[in-house]
């Protein structure tokens, strides 16, 4: 086989890989945008919308099981669903969110710019402990601290860590991180959700300063 033919085959394979990557990147972009819209939706409609979105994310993850970004977004959506439904109904999506986020971190130790660690921190903080589920405050704090190492000025990182610290009764530390959330830079691709968290951080700061 000539060198020209070998180069043509290599080019076709490379273009094929790019096309596959672009396919799931476009799907993740769509999931992220719809998740952003759902988070600002009327409360009565959020659970059903998140459940449908979680099914789509699961199908995408089945098709691309080694794409860390896909798994991170599946985990974020499942964690949002768990928070929305609450109670015992939350255990299934919460456990699945933990599983896929931990797999995402195996593939990408930074967990999509720390997002996997933030979400895991919130899951460990909110879930019941053993034997019902996997909740553990020490693990939650380690997840938040790792997220802070990766993205120290993140609005989401600081807000969720502040909420955790406030629940632990560590008000001064919570106030520090709530103020950092207020001062943080909203991500262009997560503008709506980051600004919503900034508003919640402002409420937290006002409460903790009294």
Last residue of a domain, one of 119, 147, 175: 147
Cβ distance 157 to 148 under 8 Å? yes
- Longest CA–CA span in the chain (Å) reads 78
User: Across residues 103-114, what is the average pLDDT?
Assistant: 96
162 shares its domain with 87: no
154: nearest Cα among 101, 99, 112:
112
Instruction: State the pLDDT confidence band at 3, using cuts at 50, 70 and 90.
Output: low
137 shares its domain with 206: no
User: Across residues 174-196, what is the average pLDDT?
Assistant: 92
Q: What pLDDT is recorded for position 39?
A: 83
Instruction: State the pLDDT confidence band at 9, using cuts at 50, 70 and 90.
Output: very low
Last residue of a domain, one of 104, 129, 147: 147
Q: Pick the more confident residue, 42 or 183.
A: 183
Q: What pLDDT is recorded for position 179?
A: 97
Instruction: State the pLDDT confidence band at 1, using cuts at 50, 70 and 90.
Output: low
Q: What pLDDT, in 10s, does the model give residues 41-70?
A: 888 899 999 999 999 999 999 999 999 999
- For the whole model, what pTM was predicted? 0.87
Supply the mean pLDDT for the chain: 89
Q: How many domains does the chain have?
A: 2
Q: What pLDDT is recorded for position 42?
A: 83
Instruction: State the pLDDT confidence band at 181, using cuts at 50, 70 and 90.
Output: very high
Residue 13 domain-assigned (yes or no): no
76 shares its domain with 95: yes
Residue 32 domain-assigned (yes or no): no
Work out the end-to-end distance of the chain between its first and last CA atoms, rounded to an integer number of angstroms: 78
Domain of 49 in residue numbering reads as 41-147
CA dihedral 175, 152, 144, 33 (to 10 degrees): 100
Over 50: is that where the pLDDT of 112 sits? yes
Q: Pick the more confident residue, 27 or 13.
A: 27
Q: What pLDDT is recorded for position 22?
A: 57
Residue 19 domain-assigned (yes or no): no
45 shares its domain with 132: yes
**At 119, which CATH number?**
1.25.40
Cis, peptide link before residue 146, omega less than 30° from 0: no
φ, ψ dihedrals at 87, nearest 5° = 60, -155
82 shares its domain with 101: yes
Last residue of a domain, one of 97, 125, 147: 147
């Amino acid at each position: 086989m000539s060198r020209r033919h070998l180069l043509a085959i290599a080019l076709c394979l490379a273009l094929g890989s790019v096309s596959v990557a672009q396919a799931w990147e476009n799907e993740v972009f769509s999931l992220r945008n719809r998740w952003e819209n759902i988070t600002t939706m009327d409360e009565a409609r959020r659970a059903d919308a998140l459940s449908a979105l979680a099914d789509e994310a699961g199908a995408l993850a089945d098709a691309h099981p080694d794409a860390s970004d896909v798994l991170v977004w599946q985990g974020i959506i499942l964690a949002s669903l768990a928070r929305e439904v609450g109670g015992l109904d939350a255990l299934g999506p919460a456990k699945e969110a933990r599983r896929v986020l931990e797999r995402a971190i195996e593939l990408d130790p930074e967990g999509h710019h720390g997002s996997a660690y933030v979400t895991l921190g919130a899951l460990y903080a909110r879930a019941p402990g053993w034997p019902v589920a996997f909740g553990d405050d020490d693990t939650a704090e380690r997840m938040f601290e790792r997220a802070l190492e990766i993205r120290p000025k993140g609005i989401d990182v600081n807000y969720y860590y502040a909420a955790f610290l406030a629940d632990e009764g560590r008000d001064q530390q919570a106030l520090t991180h709530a103020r950092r959330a207020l001062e943080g830079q909203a991500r262009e691709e997560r503008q709506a959700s980051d600004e919503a968290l900034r508003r919640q951080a402002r409420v937290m700061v006002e409460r903790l300063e009294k």
